Amino acid sequence: MIWVIDASVALRWLLREEVHSHADMVLEKIVYDPDSFAVPELFAFEVFSVLHRLHPSGQQAFNTGIIPILQLGIFRQPMTKRLATKAHYFVKLGLTGYDACYAALALDLGGMWLTFDQKAHRLIKGENISCYLADRMPDKWSA
């Protein structure tokens, strides 16, 4: 299974007020099995932007908390016509353009989008490609 990590998951690793045990479990698994994870290229830009708004040392947090994770070998998908076409489908379901890219990548890879964005998860729940981590870990997590 390929797990697509939402920026909302990574931010919980670095923002003290957002810490969540399920996000920590994702981080632990990334360290031991980075090849099982993917992100759209926009992931790094999103996390960078939010950290600079909310973290007292945003640049340092990004350099020490996100860059090493990305360098472990997580698959990073650039925007392509194929991904954009799939993302468009999710935009029509109500997702933002950014969220649609995460969902499209999960669909494209036959994976699962891990997110703390409840609204986005609810909009596409019937597609069976997202997991709202605030409630639970995915069914196939230990597999």
Domains of the chain: 3-132 (3.40.50.1010)
Q: How far, in Å, CA of 1 to CA of 105, rounded?
A: 13
- In total, the chain counts a number of residues equal to 143
pLDDT in tens, the chain (143 residues): 999 999 999 999 999 889 999 999 999 999 999 999 999 999 999 999 999 999 999 999 999 999 999 999 999 999 999 999 999 999 999 999 999 999 999 999 999 999 999 999 999 999 999 999 999 999 888 74
Q: How far, in Å, CA of 14 to CA of 76, rounded?
A: 20
